[in-house]
Structure 1
């Protein structure tokens, strides 16, 4: 685990807002040196806290307006095979192992209801899938985000690793 402070949170916020921003630009925005930004980024990457810089895709703008969350119940001991098959489906955006009635939570995207139905039929045909529960997403009033959580966990952490917060 990496100990984050408010400078780390501000750095991650700047990268979230503009992942293509250069180190010099971020340093100027945060009022720190280029070396500080480079050092912080390197430590975040080496710790695994930051693992990539990806574009945020607008799926409806790409012709994929329909998203579904599918709870998948499995037959015993079939988890690896089912996950492998789900990984081969390009419409599968993510898969989470879960507790409760379902064993997996699968997020899928489709261009239409008919396409989603075909994907669900393919999912049901995977050996080891016992049952599913499908919930269609109508809107996304709060998109995936991390900054409020980072701000919360770094509140009071100071603006430097050795500087206590001045409130």
Structure 2
């Protein structure tokens, strides 16, 4: 449970690095009023436990020229296997994420493309994967709430 993994110092540390990713361990220790070794040990613990999953820069597909976002619900043949299809999806740069789902369809993918016409190429590439039988596509018109996880950190301080 997150309460067992993340305490108040960890929350402050994560919030600081989320707001200012380039702050550095020494400056973080100064701002939080804890020893540099404590900051480093906490960051190491949070990384090794999987709470912090990455340190790289967040990239904007739009700024890279991929301004169209769509969501594909894929139906796959039962003999194809989710992992085999997912391995092929991972080879398509425009596939940003893929999940096995319940309900209508078997896999859900978020994809990007350079244009609406280019989206057809991406869909055709996905449909060419052995085992993918059908794709249902929904295009995103505007981002209302971008992907975020930080609010969960704050929510973890309250008990239901």
Q: Same fold (TM over 0.5)?
A: yes
Aligned: 1:18 with 2:13: no
The structure whose RCO (Cα within 8 Å, separation 6+) is larger is 1
Match of 1:4 in 2: 6
Aligned: 1:117 with 2:154: no
Task: Name the TM-score, length of structure 2 as normaliser.
Answer: 0.89
Q: Quote how far apart the aligned CAs of 1:117 are.
A: 0.5
Corresponding residue pairs, total = 156
Match of 1:164 in 2: none
Root-mean-square deviation (CA, aligned residues, Å) is: 1.6
Aligned: 1:139 with 2:155: no
Aligned: 1:100 with 2:129: no
**Structure 1 unmatched ranges of 5 or more:** 157-167
Give the Cα–Cα distance (whole angstroms) in 1 for the partners of residues 57 and 121 of structure 2.
28
Give the Cα–Cα distance (whole angstroms) in 2 for the partners of residues 108 and 9 of structure 1.
32
Q: Deviations over 1:57-102 (max 9, x none)?
A: 1221111110111111111031232112111111111111111111
Give the Cα–Cα distance (whole angstroms) in 1 for the partners of residues 78 and 57 of structure 2.
37
**Structure 2 unmatched ranges of 5 or more:** none
5 Å-filtered alignment, 1:38-49, equals 38-49=40-51
Match of 2:76 in 1: 74
Q: Quote how far apart the aligned CAs of 1:49 are.
A: 1.8
Give the Cα–Cα distance (whole angstroms) in 1 for the partners of residues 44 and 146 of structure 2.
27
Match of 1:161 in 2: none
Q: Deviations over 1:119-160 (max 9, x none)?
A: 10111122211221111111112111111111111247xxxx
Match of 2:56 in 1: 54
